[in-house]
Structure formats: structure tokens, C-alpha cells
């Protein structure tokens, strides 16, 4: 089972400990930070599936943090946590592009339900646990990172498999570079773009002999997997 990665910003140590503990019990992988700056740094370096942000934070508050995150990734779910029950703040948070705003004290169960709602809605949890695909005479087992040709088995790396899965699940439509990058890498910058090109190149090589699938560039936009 896939472990989802949560970026968690909270400066109240006791609350953070409890929350993190509860989430980890539910098999989430939680990276916790006590100030906005460190949190943003982590976001820029690592991949996360969802962000849970306190608003009152040292160095950079939750609003600024959310704004910075949204700029890099338009799609990642963001949930605010706050002691402030002010309607103004709630609205402000949602306007910035957050998905929800839980008022402290919140029940851990509510938080977990919300996390799952947004993981589902942002397609991080695949409703159909489909992980087995057929491309012409080639089979692809995404769970096991495995390509099965007639006799031969090729192991893919995680990135290769993730990219291939993304392409197959969005076949025959143009995927923008930005969309691919935020889906797989969590953000969108120049060098990640070059990296994507390398992986596309590898997939092409693997499927070179297979006429029924191709990974076509759409200049200036992104790629389209035709099959």
C-alpha cells in the first residue's frame, strides 16, 4: 500500500506530537515543521501529497506559506488548522486556494476524514485499484514496476513506472509539462523539466518496438501518449 506524505506545519509542540502520532498510526508519513520557512524549504525539496498548515507560525505564517506552495503547485490539497474562529480568516484561507479550514480544537477523526476526502478528490487515491495494463503485446504491472514483454521482464524504477502510469491513465490527451511535473515531482521548475525529458526518452526506448504506443511531444505544451 502506498504511504501518503503529509507536510505538516504547527508550532504548538504538544499538539503537533499528538497529531503526528495519530496520523502515523493511520500509516501516513508525516514531515513536521515548527516554522513556515523550514516548511517551505522542505516543500521545495521533497514530494508531498497534501499539506496541513497552522496559520500562526513563526518566520512565515500559514497564509504566506500556502501562497508560496500554491505558486509552485496548483493542485496539491491544502488544509488550514487554526485557533482563530474568525470568519474573515476562514474566507481568506479559502481564497488563497486552500481546500479546507479546520478550527482548533478539531477532532483527529475529522482531520483524517478530510485528508482522505482531498486525497481522493485530487486523484492521489485511485478509486479503481487498477495497476495492471496492457499495451499491445506488452503488459505493465504498475504495482511491481514491471514491464512484461513476450519472454522478457524489464524492471522499471519508481519514476519510470509513475510516469508511464500517468501517461496510460491520460492516454490520447495532451498532458501539460506543468501538470506532469506537479503530479510526479510535486513542483514545477526548469531542471525538473529536463529530468522529465530524460524519463520520456527512456520510456520511448522501452517501447520503441511497440507500434501501438508512442509518447509524442507537443511543442511548448507537454506530451501526449497515443495508444
What does the binding site for a second copy look like in residue numbers (CB under 8 A)?
74, 87, 90-91, 94-95, 99-100, 107, 109-110, 113-114, 117-118, 121-122, 127, 143-145, 155, 157-158, 172-174, 218-221, 224
Q: How far is the CB of 59 from a second copy (least distance, A)?
A: 28
Q: How far is the CB of 32 from DNA (least distance, A)?
A: 18
x-or-dash string of contact with DNA, 106-125, rule CB under 7 A: --------------------
Residue with cell 518496438: 209
Piece in contact with DNA (CB under 7 A), picked from 79-87, 94-102, 120-128, 217-225 = 217-225
Q: How far is the CB of 36 from a second copy (least distance, A)?
A: 23
Residues 183-212, interacting with DNA (CB under 7 A): 185, 191-195, 197-201, 204-205
Instruction: Kindly tell me the number of DSSP H helices and DSSP E strands found in the chain.
Output: 8, 12
As a dihedral over the C-alpha atoms of residue 173, residue 178, residue 181, residue 183, rounded to 10 degrees, the angle is -60
Q: How far is the CB of 138 from a second copy (least distance, A)?
A: 18
Report which of 63, 71, 62, 85 is spatially closest to residue 9, judged by C-alpha positions: 62
Contacts of 124 (CB under 8 A, 6+ apart): 4, 49, 50
DSSP letter string over 62-128?
A: HHHHHHHHHHH-SSS-EEEEES---HHHHHHHHHTT-SEEEESS--HHHHHHHHHHHHHHTTSS-SS
Q: Is 40 helix (H, G, I), strand (E, B) or coil?
A: helix
- Give the rounded distance of the alpha carbon of 4 from its chain centre: 9
Q: How far is the CB of 220 from DNA (least distance, A)?
A: 5
205 binds, options a second copy, DNA, none, Cβ within 5 to 8 A by partner type = DNA
Closer residue to DNA (CB): 21 or 197: 197
Residues 131-170, interacting with DNA (CB under 7 A): 155, 157-160
Cα separation of 55 and 66, whole Å? 9
67 binds, options a second copy, DNA, none, Cβ within 5 to 8 A by partner type = none
Report which of 174, 170, 173, 164 is spatially closest to residue 139, judged by C-alpha positions: 164
From residue 143, alpha-carbon distances to 2, 43, 129, 138, 181 in Å are: 10, 26, 10, 16, 21
86 binds, options DNA, a second copy, none, Cβ within 5 to 8 A by partner type = none
Closer residue to a second copy (CB): 113 or 209: 113
Task: Give contact residues for DNA (rule: CB under 7 A).
Answer: 155, 157-160, 177, 185, 191-195, 197-201, 204-205, 217-223
Amino acid at each position: 500500500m502506498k504511504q501518503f506524505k503529509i507536510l505538516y506545519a504547527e508550532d504548538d509542540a504538544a499538539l503537533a506530537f499528538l497529531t503526528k502520532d495519530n496520523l502515523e498510526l493511520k500509516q501516513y508519513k508525516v514531515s513536521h515543521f515548527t516554522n513556515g520557512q523550514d516548511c517551505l524549504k522542505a516543500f521545495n525539496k521533497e514530494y508531498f501529497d497534501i499539506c496541513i498548515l497552522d496559520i500562526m507560525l513563526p518566520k512565515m505564517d500559514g497564509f504566506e506559506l500556502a501562497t508560496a506552495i500554491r505558486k509552485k503547485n496548483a493542485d496539491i490539497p491544502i488544509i488550514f488548522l487554526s485557533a482563530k474562529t474568525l470568519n474573515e480568516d476562514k474566507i481568506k484561507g479559502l481564497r488563497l486556494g486552500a481546500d479546507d479550514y479546520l478550527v482548533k480544537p478539531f477532532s483527529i477523526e475529522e482531520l483524517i476524514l478530510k485528508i482522505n476526502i482531498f486525497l481522493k478528490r485530487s486523484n492521489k487515491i485511485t478509486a479503481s485499484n487498477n495497476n495492471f495494463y496492457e499495451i499491445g503485446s506488452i503488459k505493465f504491472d504498475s504495482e511491481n514496476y514491471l514491464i512484461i514483454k513476450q519472454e522478457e521482464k524489464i524492471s522499471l524504477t519508481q519514476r519510470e513506472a509513475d510516469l508511464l502510469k500517468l501517461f496510460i491513465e491520460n492516454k490520447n490527451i495532451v498532458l501539460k509539462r506543468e501538470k506532469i511535473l506537479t503530479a510526479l515531482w510535486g513542483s514545477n521548475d526548469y531542471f525538473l523539466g529536463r529530468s522529465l525529458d530524460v524519463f520520456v526518452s527512456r520510456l520511448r526506448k522501452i517501447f520503441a518496438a511497440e507500434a501501438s504506443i508512442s509518447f509524442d511531444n507537443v511543442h511548448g505544451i507537454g506530451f501526449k501518449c497515443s495508444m
